[in-house]
């Protein structure tokens, strides 16, 4: 045994000094990506082109502020809404999908812990005992039985011991497996961060859509009151014999048509209330009292801009980081597969005790043991190892393409969100002018009808247009904020680059 101790020390030191088989991971170089102009509609102004389109302000006329990482890191705080802030906090602490992602991270951490077992000696304990007797004998056994005068022939054997084995990781297969486990745990961590970004953005989007829906309900009810007042006047005049029956019926179907728009909005409100409850980890219905009343305020922020899409901000996105760590894990798995081509060195040992009598089981002469090196080398495996290596290399190439795709998707999301955000401001400004004109049209058409200069159809058209344009204005105002939240999410959603 003393002669084997230096062999063990040398083998253990050698497994740390020798390079591991397989490719060493290097982070992909994406610094050469071209930068293209952003799809920026500019600051919304009253300037018009010759054909009447909005002309974006440029230079000093563009007074928008730049979006910064500080704006993104706590984007919901910028709305100065305690209800929204509390909803985000509740979602992060109680959302079940997010907690499931936390458990996946815990599982990957335990998998990493388990991978270190490959570097440790392994031992198993075994024990057995047999008690036998024979009623039938061979001729020699029968002679022995006659000589001893015994009535039975016994054969007992009791054993117990430890088997131990220690693989010396000379070619780095276990090291590569641990490297892969580290990267997979890191990927799980960034997947958890991505779940956090997605969750907060979903809470913000559903909350703004809820407030937009509630404002649409308020617009419909306000118009319903005005239309009902008009109908009551016409009906009263008709009952008095001085009105127009056609105008009464026209006014009636306008009222009913507006009334018909409210139930779907109430159903949408219920859907959004329930969605927010689930996002915050509550049973649907739990948030109704808190969110049912819409405050009289606007969530619209001043227009913002981004000069370019910085690569570092894209790389900081948790989904991109997760894809990069998955690539690192798969690169290490190629080394694990290649290590199977090479011999494995083991130090095996056994320590046990054996006796034919129970009461002398731990006697001095019953102990025995052995220790020594062993080698295992797959000489012929029918090409299975080669096929496995090629399969892992193909998966590595796939992981690299997935990383590139994650970056492409990140750029796409940023550009789409920015285009929708900046263009929506121009739509909103146009709708503001249209609503003002529709309000004036309602007042003028009412005066003309009262003076007998126009029929009631002009009033109906004006009221319909006003309801439609006011609702579109509310939707556009809410959509600007929803698009801004999508832009914050696309830029990392609060995860700041290291």
pLDDT in tens, 345-383: 888 888 877 776 655 556 665 677 888 888 888 888 778
pLDDT digits (tens, 9 = 90+) for 153-212: 556 676 777 888 888 888 888 899 999 999 999 999 999 999 999 999 999 999 999 999
pLDDT digits (tens, 9 = 90+) for 87-145: 999 999 999 999 999 999 999 888 888 888 888 888 888 877 776 655 555 555 555 54
Q: Which helix (H) or strand (E) holds 248?
A: helix 245-279
SS3 370: strand
What is the rounded average pLDDT for all residues in the chain? 85
pLDDT for the residue numbered 10:
40
Average pLDDT over residues 209-223: 95
pLDDT digits (tens, 9 = 90+) for 295-319: 988 899 999 998 888 788 888 899 9
User: CA 80, 264, 422, 402 torsion: positive or negative?
Assistant: positive
How far apart are alpha carbons 4 and 119 in whole angstroms? 19
- Spell out the residues 6+ positions from residue 104 whose beta carbon is closer than 8 angstroms to its own: 188, 191, 192
Residue 279 has pLDDT above 70, yes or no: yes
Q: Which domains does the chain have, with CATH numbers?
A: 20-94+172-342+385-490 (1.20.1600.10)
CA atoms within 13 A on the CB side of 496: 9
Average pLDDT over residues 33-37: 80
DSSP assignment of 162-216:
EEEEEEE-SS-HHHHHHHHHHHHHHHHHHHHHHHHHHHHHHHHHHHHHHHHHHHH
């Amino acid at each position: 045994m003393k002669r084997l101790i230096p062999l063990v020390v040398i083998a253990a030191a050698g497994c740390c000094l020798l390079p591991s088989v397989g490719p060493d991971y290097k982070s992909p170089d994406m610094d050469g990506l071209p930068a293209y102009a952003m799809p920026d509609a500019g600051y919304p102004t009253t300037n018009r082109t010759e054909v009447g389109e909005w002309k974006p302000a440029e230079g000093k006329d563009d007074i928008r502020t730049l979006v910064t990482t500080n704006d993104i890191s706590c984007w919901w705080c910028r709305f100065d809404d305690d209800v929204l802030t509390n909803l985000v906090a509740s979602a992060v602490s109680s959302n079940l999908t997010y907690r499931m992602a936390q458990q996946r991270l815990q599982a990957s951490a335990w998998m990493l812990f388990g991978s270190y077992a490959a570097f440790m000696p392994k031992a198993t304990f075994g024990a057995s005992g047999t008690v036998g007797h024979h009623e039938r004998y061979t001729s020699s056994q029968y002679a022995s039985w006659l000589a001893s005068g015994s009535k039975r022939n016994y054969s007992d054997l009791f054993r117990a011991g430890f088997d131990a084995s220690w693989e010396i990781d000379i070619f780095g297969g276990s090291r590569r497996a641990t490297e892969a486990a580290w990267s997979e745990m890191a990927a799980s961590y960034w997947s958890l961060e991505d779940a956090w970004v997605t969750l907060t953005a979903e809470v913000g989007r559903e909350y703004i859509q809820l407030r937009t829906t509630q404002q649409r309900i308020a617009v419909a009810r306000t118009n319903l009151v005005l239309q009902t007042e008009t109908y009551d006047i016409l009906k009263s005049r008709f009952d008095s014999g001085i009105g127009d029956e056609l105008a009464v019926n026209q006014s009636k179907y306008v009222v009913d048509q507006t009334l018909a728009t409210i139930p779907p909005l109430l159903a949408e409100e219920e859907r959004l209330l329930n969605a927010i409850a689930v996002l915050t980890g509550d049973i649907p219905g739990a948030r109704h009292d808190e969110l049912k009343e819409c405050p009289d305020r606007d969530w619209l922020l001043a227009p913002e801009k981004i000069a370019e899409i910085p690569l570092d901000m894209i790389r900081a996105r948790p989904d991109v980081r997760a894809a990069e760590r998955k690539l690192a894990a798969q690169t290490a798995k190629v080394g694990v597969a290649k290590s199977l081509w090479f011999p494995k060195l083991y130090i095996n040992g056994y320590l046990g005790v054996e006796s034919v009598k129970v009461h002398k089981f731990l006697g001095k002469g019953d102990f025995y043991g052995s220790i020594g090196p062993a080698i295992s080398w797959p000489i012929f495996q029918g090409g299975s190892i080669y096929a496995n290596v090629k399969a892992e290399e193909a998966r590595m190439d796939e992981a690299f393409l997935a990383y590139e795709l994650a970056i492409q998707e990140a750029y796409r999301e940023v550009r789409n969100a920015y285009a929708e955000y900046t263009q929506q401001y121009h739509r909103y400004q146009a709708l503001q002018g249209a609503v003002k004109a529709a309000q004036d049209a309602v007042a003028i058409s009412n005066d003309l009808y009262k003076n007998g200069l126009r029929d009631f159809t002009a009033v109906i058209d004006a009221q319909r247009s006003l309801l439609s344009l006011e609702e579109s204005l509310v939707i556009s105002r809410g959509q600007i904020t929803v698009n801004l939240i999508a832009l914050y999410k696309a830029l990392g959603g609060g995860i700041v680059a290291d």
